[in-house]
C-alpha cells in the first residue's frame, strides 16, 4: 500500500480553525490516568498545528458511552494535556459536544490557541456516523486533522462523517508514523519477515493469519490460539483452549503455509496447569502433547529457544498477542522471552498494539522496539489488509 494521503504539512494552517480528532481514550483508575502514552503520542501534531498559526480544536472519545456521562468527561484529560503541552488548554464542555457556547469560544480563538471539546460519544449519533453531528463538527472548522489511529478502523462522525463536510481532511504525524511502520513493513518488508501471533482466540485473527501467510517468511503462532492448530494436527491438548469450529480453518492455514513456503511454527512444548489459575499445579511438557486434566498456559523452554533463534536472524518482526497467560506470573515467561528476543534483535520491530504493547511496556522493553502501535483493533485490521475507513476518508495528495 502506498500512502498518498495529505498530512498537516501539505495544507495551510495559519489562522485556520483546525479540528483535530485525537485518541485520548486513556485508562482512568480512581480519577487518575494510568497510561498516558496516547496523550504523549498526540503532542507533536498538536504543537505543529499550534506553532504554525492554527486554532487547535481537539476532540476525542473516551470509554464506551453512548450519551452524556459525567464519569467519562474529558476534563481530566484536559488538565493533564495542559501540563504536557506546557500551555494553557481550554476545556469547553458541552453535553452535545458542539453548541452555541462552543461556537462562541471558537470564534474568540487566536492563532495558536488550543481548546478541547467534550467526549464525542456524548452524542448518540457518533457511533452511527449520522449527518447532524458530522455537520456540527464540520461547522466549527476549516481544516480537519485525523490523528486517532486507534479509532481509524471505525466509521464514526468524528473519524469519517465530518470529512464529507470539510474541504481539507488530512492526517497528523501519529497516523503518518503508524502507516509508515505498519504499512511499509507489511507491503515492502526487509526479509526475513517474521510475524508472531498469540492471544486467546483463532477466531479474532482469522483474516490476519490468512493475509500474513501471503507476506511473511515465518509465522509463529503461540498463546491460546496455538492449541486449535495443534489439535488440528492430531496432538493431545488436554483441557486447553480450543475452537472446535476452527479446526478445519487451522488445517487450511497449515496447508496454505506449505504451499506458500512459509515456515509456520507452533509450540513444541508447553507450561501447563491443572486449572486456569496462577496457583494451578504447574508442569512442563516434554513435547507438543498435553496430558488429560491439564491445559497449556504458556509456551515451553524448547519453544522459546526455537522462537528466539528465528528472531535472531529476522530483519522485520511484527508481534500481536501474548504467548501465554502473561497476567499470571507463573505463566508469563514465554511472553517475556519473546519480548526480550525482540528487544535484543537488530530487526525492525513492530508491536501491534493491545496486550503485547502493554506487556512490552510493563516489562520495560518499550524503548527497545522500533514502533509500538497505538491501536490494537486498528493495527489488526490493518494487518488483515483492510482499508481503514478513517484513513480512506482523508484527502489524497
Ligand atoms: P487477545 O486479546 O486475543 O490478544 O488475547 C489476549 C489474552 O489471551 C490474554 O488475556 C491472555 O491471558 C490470553 N491467553 C494467552 N495464552 C492463553 C492460553 N494458553 N490459554 C488461555 N488464554 C490465553
Which triple of cell numbers denotes residue 143?
481544516
Task: Identify the residue whose C-alpha is closest to ligand 1 atom 2.
Answer: 199
Check if 354 is active-site: yes
Q: Tens of pLDDT along 65-113? A: 999 999 999 999 999 999 999 988 999 999 999 999 999 999 999 999 9
**What's the pLDDT at 48?**
98
Distance (angstroms) between ligand 1 centre and the Cα of 199 equals: 4
**What's the pLDDT at 1?**
47
Catalytic residue, from 354, 375, 376, 390: name it: 354
100, 101, 107, 111: CA torsion to nearest 10: -140
Q: How confident is the model at residue 4 (pLDDT cuts 50, 70, 90)?
A: confident
**What's the pLDDT at 343?**
94
**Ordered structural domains, the chain, with CATH:** 8-174 (3.40.50.1260), 181-383 (3.40.50.1260)
DSSP string, 194-234: EEEE-SS-SGGGHHHHHHHTTT-SEEEE-STTHHHHHHHTT
Measured from the CB, is residue 136 less than 6 Å from ligand 1?
Answer: no
The Cα 305–Cα 334 span in angstroms is 10
Q: How confident is the model at residue 359 (pLDDT cuts 50, 70, 90)?
A: confident
Q: Compute the average pLDDT of residues 161-188.
A: 92
Identify the residue whose cell numbers are 502501535.
373
Distance (angstroms) between ligand 1 centre and the Cα of 222 equals: 10
Measured from the CB, is residue 355 less than 6 Å from ligand 1?
Answer: yes
Measured from the CB, is residue 277 less than 6 Å from ligand 1?
Answer: no
Amino acid at each position: 500500500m502506498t500512502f498518498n494521503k495529505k498530512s498537516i504539512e501539505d495544507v495551510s494552517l495559519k489562522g485556520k480553525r483546525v479540528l483535530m480528532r485525537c485518541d485520548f481514550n486513556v485508562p482512568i483508575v480512581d480519577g487518575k490516568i494510568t497510561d498516558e502514552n496516547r496523550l504523549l503520542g498526540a503532542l507533536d501534531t498538536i504543537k505543529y498545528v499550534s506553532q504554525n498559526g492554527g486554532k487547535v480544536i481537539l476532540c476525542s472519545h473516551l470509554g464506551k458511552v453512548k450519551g452524556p456521562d459525567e464519569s467519562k468527561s474529558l476534563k481530566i484529560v484536559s488538565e493533564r494535556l495542559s501540563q504536557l503541552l506546557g500551555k494553557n488548554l481550554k476545556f469547553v464542555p458541552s453535553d452535545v459536544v458542539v453548541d452555541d457556547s462552543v461556537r462562541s469560544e471558537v470564534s474568540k480563538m487566536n492563532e495558536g490557541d488550543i481548546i478541547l471539546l467534550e467526549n464525542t460519544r456524548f452524542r448518540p449519533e457518533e457511533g452511527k456516523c449520522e449527518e447532524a453531528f458530522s455537520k456540527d463538527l464540520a461547522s466549527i472548522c476549516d481544516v480537519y486533522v485525523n490523528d486517532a489511529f486507534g479509532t481509524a478502523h471505525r466509521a464514526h462522525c468524528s473519524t469519517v462523517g465530518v470529512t464529507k463536510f470539510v474541504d481539507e481532511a488530512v492526517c497528523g504525524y501519529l497516523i503518518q508514523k503508524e502507516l509508515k511502520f505498519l504499512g511499509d513493513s507489511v507491503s515492502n518488508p526487509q526479509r526475513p519477515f517474521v510475524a508472531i501471533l498469540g492471544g486467546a482466540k483463532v477466531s479474532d485473527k482469522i483474516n490476519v493469519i490468512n493475509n500474513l501467510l501471503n507476506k511473511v517468511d515465518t509465522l509463529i503462532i503461540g498463546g491460546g490460539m496455538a492449541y486449535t492448530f495443534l489439535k488440528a494436527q492430531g496432538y493431545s491438548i488436554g483441557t486447553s483452549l480450543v475452537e472446535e469450529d476452527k479446526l478445519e480453518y487451522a488445517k487450511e492455514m497449515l496447508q496454505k503455509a506449505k504451499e506458500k513456503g512459509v515456515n509456520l511454527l507452533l509450540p513444541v512444548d508447553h507450561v501447563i496447569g491443572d486449572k486456569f489459575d496462577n496457583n494451578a499445579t504447574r508442569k512442563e511438557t516434554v513435547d507438543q502433547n498435553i496430558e488429560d486434566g491439564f491445559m497449556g498456559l504458556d509456551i515451553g523452554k524448547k519453544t522459546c529457544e526455537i522462537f528466539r533463534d528465528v528472531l535472531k536472524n529476522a530483519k522485520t518482526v511484527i508481534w500481536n498477542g501474548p504467548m501465554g497467560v502473561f497476567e499470571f506470573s507463573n505463566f508469563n515467561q514465554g511472553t517475556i522471552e519473546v519480548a526480550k528476543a525482540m528487544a535484543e534483535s537488530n530487526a525492525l520491530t513492530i508491536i501491534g498494539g493491545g496486550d503485547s504493547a502493554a506487556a512490552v511496556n510493563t516489562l520495560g522493553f518499550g524503548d527497545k522496539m522500533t514502533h509500538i502501535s497505538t491501536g490494537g483493533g486498528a493495527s489488526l485490521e490493518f494487518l488483515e489488509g483492510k482499508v481503514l475507513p478513517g484513513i480512506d476518508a482523508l484527502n489524497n495528495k
